[in-house]
Structure 1
Amino acid sequence: MAVLLMNGLVARGERVTLILARREGPYLDDLDPAIELVDLGNRRSISSIRPLARWLRSARPDVLVSHLTHVNVAAALANRLARAGIPHVAVEHNQMGQNYALLTNRSVKVAYRLARFVYPGIARIVSVSQGVEAAVLAFTRGRAHNHQVIHNPVVTDGLVALSGEAPEHRWLADGADIPVLLGCGRLHHQKGFDVLISAVRQVLDDRPVRLVILGEGPLRPQLEAQLSSLNLGDHVDLAGFSRNPFAMMRAADAFILSSRWEGLPTVLIEALACGANIVATDCPSGPMEVLEGGKFGRLVPVDDSDALAKAICAALDAPLDSASAMARASDFTLDRAVDNYMALFDHLQPRRGKPSRG
């Protein structure tokens, strides 16, 4: 999402510099060529504090933007060290308390604990959903004076165009009159695919159905064992990564989000943009907000396979209106996110000419 936002800012004529602790990562090739890259030559955020402070003192960008808690804390400390008076925007993407409980890296855990002391001095804490904002305030014991919500940029013209392509999975192209469900995400405890698989076992007692799960992750062996124990090998496909999940979102009979927690679930918004018939858990946070309390998709309790199975059957019997779903997705476009960030930058630092965003 950060790459999409930076590219969107450049398209509006903004000067953007991307500061990296170390110049590596899978998304560098997706950056607009106009984005300047600065490599601090470090592997960890904490060891990048002094080099970043030196860069800030020298370059004097109009605004400093950082993402993720441990990076936000390091950037805030570097900004204080630089003493350059640069407005800092720190972006939070997920449930801080949930993330902290799962951390194993000691330095990252320290950064989370420091957040409650550092965040009050940051110019603006941006959360990607109302639920994330509530979680940040609770974890940091903060006050709302420097917080606001800006949704991630998700929907683009490219996404919509890809959704119109032919779906690549055989179950969506074989002409069989068997409903196909779709789930997308990392094969991780957070995503609740074990609960979804159990729900599909129950749905099969009522009608034929197939489930495709896109994504990879550490729980593949456990999920494969679950499929074997429930004799679901012919009904559920752990299909791995897909070049174009959007065509499958459009073609599937229902899209299922079974997560135990989220920040702002990107795949849910992508499914809306594809006109999908949605069933989602009412997890913290995002689905309730994105689906407006169930107006644009059915909501069920977390970790409840019975309720999920019933909602899937209801969705297959009475699909929700795809045009309404696509209209709701327009609230999460790249253009809208860029507008909101530019308005925030202007508020924090009234601009003269074309500014540099660090």
Structure 2
Amino acid sequence: MTELRKLKVIFLLPALTSGGAERVLITLMNNIDRTRFEPHLLCISDHGSIGGLIDKDLPFHSLYTRSVLRSTPKLYAKLRTIEPDIIVSTMVHVNFVLLMLQPFFPRTKFIVREAITPSFVFTQHPRIAPILKLAYKYLYRKADVVLSPAQAIIDEFKQDLHMACENHSVLHNPVDIEFIRGFPPTPPSAPSTRAQTVHFVAGGRLHKQKGYDRLIRALPSLNMPHEWTLTIFGKGPERGALRQLIQETGLQNHVKLAGHTQSPWPHYAQADCFLMPSRWEGLPNAVLESLACGTPTIVTAQSGGIAEIQDITGTQHVRIAQDMDEFIQLMSKVTPSPSPIYRPSLLPDYFSKDFVVARFEKILTRVI
């Protein structure tokens, strides 16, 4: 009996930096069926700290170039050498460059993943927003599949860019629940007072997008019957400004900037509530991971596909605030609930790694 040929799939990343989009693509790559697919990882740059997340047996390629646009000739040459059946990329600037090469690879299928709303991209780059709109309209229709983690992202393409989106499909972010819950829980820093203290936690890049500045400005109005603390994990360009803001609002004894950690999940599990005050998101991984740890969340309505998560998990686990006043009101209702072990997961199987990877494999098979 003739053995079926494995489909060669390249997963294309800009670098190995510790972002949600990168981790999602690596999770998909690590877990697809090796008897049916031959995954390769190709990075524009080898810079970054998450190389340890990549399965050791996977072929790794790098163009050793920092600029995505300037890497185009090298990318073309590398794709010619590897001759993939399918290429899967993520992040808009990488997607644009890849899709410009699509006419030169007529036998290869192109899957791009759009993890953020177009409006976020336009806000970040207002001077070239008209060019970006044209690029979205012209290039994304060349893709065989455009994957988004939330329907809200696809809806924005339809409503704001008037795109047909016939090649768009939802693929939720995969969450490796067993991996996350495999880390030992973090004991409370002050066990004697933990039962009387509400512990909030937040995690993400210290960037204006995440809205930590507006949360800190709103916190002086928080009126709770319990003591409370907020620990924010992450690093980024806003760290200095946030530290100064904490001083200005007199919250030094309540709010702590804890820096970056590769494994924040034990801290999420120890908290009473996870906070996400973001100004914009796609489908926030941190919320999904918090729910996997058994910790409920309070999020802003601007946090991308958060309403889709709430529809599946229920309003008691995901509470959505329309503005910061309501956000603070929801925080005031949280009570201490310390646990020495992980609470039961609040995340439905719909977001589990196995469920999402199985659906991704169907997409890979169907596109050929």
Partner residue of 1:152 out of 170, 173, 183: 173
Aligned residue in 2 for 1:102: 124
* Distance apart, 1:145 and its partner CA: 0.8
Question: C-alpha distance in 2, partners of 1:42/1:256?
Answer: 36
Q: Which runs of 5+ in 1 are unaligned?
A: 350-358
Partners of 1:288 and 1:37 in 2: CA distance: 37
- Encode CA deviations 1:50-82: one digit per residue, 9 max, x unaligned: 3333343443322111111111111111121x2
Q: TM-score, normalised by structure 2?
A: 0.83
**Structure 1 residue 328: deviation in Å?**
3.0
What amino acid does structure 1 have at the position aligned with 2:124? L
For the residues of structure 1 that align with 2:157 and 2:112, how far apart are their CA atoms?
Answer: 12
Q: How far, CA to CA, are the matches of 2:126 and 2:249 in structure 1? A: 33
Residue 212 (structure 1) aligned with residue 231 (structure 2): yes
* Deviation sequence 1:158-195 (CA, Å, 0-9, x none): 10112xx2316625686462111111111111111123
Q: Which residue of 1 aligns with 2:283?
A: 264
Instruction: Report the RMSD for the aligned CA atoms in angstroms.
Output: 2.9
Amino acid at match of 2:109: P
Q: Write out the 4+ residue segments of structure 1 that deviate beyond 6 Å after TM superposition.
A: 322-325
Q: Deviations over 1:242-296 (max 9, x none)?
A: 3532112112121111111111100000010011122111114122111227353
- Of 310-319 and 116-125, deviating more is 310-319
Deviations 1:179-224 (A, max 9, x none): 1111111111111112322343222465421111111222222222
1:354 — aligned with what? none
With normalisation by structure 1, the TM-score equals 0.85
Alignment coverage as a number of residue pairs? 341
Distance 1:62 1:78 in 2: 14
Q: Is the 8 A contact 1:10 1:34 kept in 2?
A: no
Specify the code of the residue in structure 1 equivalent to 2:107.
G
In structure 2, the CA distance between the partners of 1:169 and 1:327, relative to structure 1 (3 Å rule), is: closer
CA distance in 1, matches of 2:228, 2:82: 58
CA distance in 1, matches of 2:169, 2:206: 31
Give 3-state SS (helix, strand or coil) of 1:294's partner.
coil
Alignment partner of 1:17: what SS?
strand
- Counterpart of 1:84 in structure 2 is 106
Letter in 1 for 2:120: Q
Name the counterpart of 1:132.
Answer: 153
Whether 1:300 and 2:327 are equivalent positions in the alignment is no
Match of residue 274 from structure 2: 255
Which of 42, 46, 49 is matched with 2:72 structurally? 49
The 8 Å contact of residues 254 and 279 in structure 1, kept in 2 or not, is answered as yes
Q: Kindly provide the amino acid, as one letter, of the partner of residue 88 in structure 2.
A: V
Find the aligned partners of 1:269 and 1:75 in 2 and give their Cα distance: 29
- Contact persistence 1:214–1:238 (CA under 8 A): yes
Aligned counterpart, 1:273 = 292
**Which amino acid in structure 2 is aligned with residue 223 of structure 1?**
L
Residue type at the aligned position of 1:85: R
Aligned residue runs from structure 1 range 345-356, under 5 A? 345-349=364-368
Q: Does 1:234 find its partner at 2:224?
A: no
Q: Which has the higher helix share?
A: 1
Q: What is the alpha-carbon distance in structure 2 between the residues aligned to residue 111 and residue 28 of structure 1?
A: 31
* SS state at 2:56 partner: coil
> Does 1:286 pair with 2:291?
no
The alignment-based identity, stated in percent, is 24
Structure 1 match to 2:353: 334
Q: Distance in 1 between matches of 2:239 and 2:355?
A: 37
Shift of residue 110, structure 1, vs aligned partner: 5.2
Q: Distance in 1 between matches of 2:131 and 2:287?
A: 32
**Structure of greater relative contact order (alpha carbons < 8 Å, 6+ residues apart):** 1
Contact kept? 1:200, 1:209, Cα under 8 Å: no
Contact 1:172–1:180 (CA<8 Å) still a contact in 2? Answer: no
- Report the CA distance shift for 1:222/1:42 in structure 2 as closer, same or farther (over 3 A): closer
